[in-house]
Amino acid sequence: MNLSALIKGLNEAGVAFVVVGGIAAVAQGAPVTTFDLDIVHRQTEDNVEKLMGFLKSIDAYARRPDDIILKPVMEDLKEKSHVLLSTNLGPLDVLAFIEKGLGFDELIDDCIQIEFHGHTVYALNLEKMVELKRESSAPKDRHRLEILEETLRASERWDNKG
């Protein structure tokens, strides 16, 4: 599993995306564990074509409970859906939106920018993650909320020292 290679590959393919979920939290200092990369991609024709090309290059296929191998298709990436994939670099969740139906265009202003292998990567900021998790009733989100809130408080204390 090489999640950093997934991020690097998406950037090199020219895909417009926002990192959300565990990797976005880890990038901002949250002590959480994650086993996949969650992204929200811009759903323009050009961007979906770039994403599709990248997915083909990493042998992406749908994660399923059975042994049927389904390759992603353009229509899946254009719809308002979640495409959960296995790849030769590790698990990749390609999301059209996250909580509250927020897609790429709604999320981009709530991102931090991270320089990564010569590319700028956009990751959803802790403030927005906390806001969205506070409204969730899912046990996983409620548990992670405590960690995100403490990470945010710690980063604010650190910022105020300087």
Residue 46's pLDDT is 97
pTM: predicted TM-score of the whole model, two decimal places? 0.89
CA 57-59-60 angle, 5° bins: 110
Query: What's the average model confidence in pLDDT over 25-48?
Result: 94
Nearest to 78 by CA among 54, 38, 46: 46
Residue 157's pLDDT is 62
Say if CB 110 and CB 124 are below 8 A apart: yes
Residue 37's pLDDT is 96
Longest dimension (CA), the chain: 54
The C-alpha atoms of residue 78 and residue 143 are separated, in whole angstroms, by 32
Is the per-residue pLDDT at 49 higher than 80?
yes
Residue 91's pLDDT is 96
Q: What is the number of alpha carbons within 13 Å of residue 6 lying toward its C-beta?
A: 25
Is the per-residue pLDDT at 8 higher than 60?
yes
Tens digits of residue pLDDT in 102-124: 999 999 999 999 998 889 999 99
Residue 69's pLDDT is 86
Mean pLDDT taken over the chain: 91
- 161: confidence class by pLDDT, cuts 50, 70, 90: low
Query: What's the average model confidence in pLDDT over 77-86?
Result: 90
Query: What's the average model confidence in pLDDT over 142-155?
Result: 89
- 158: confidence class by pLDDT, cuts 50, 70, 90: low
Residue 117's pLDDT is 85
> Which residue ranges form the domains of the chain, and what is each CATH number?
3-125 (3.30.460.40)
Residue 120's pLDDT is 94
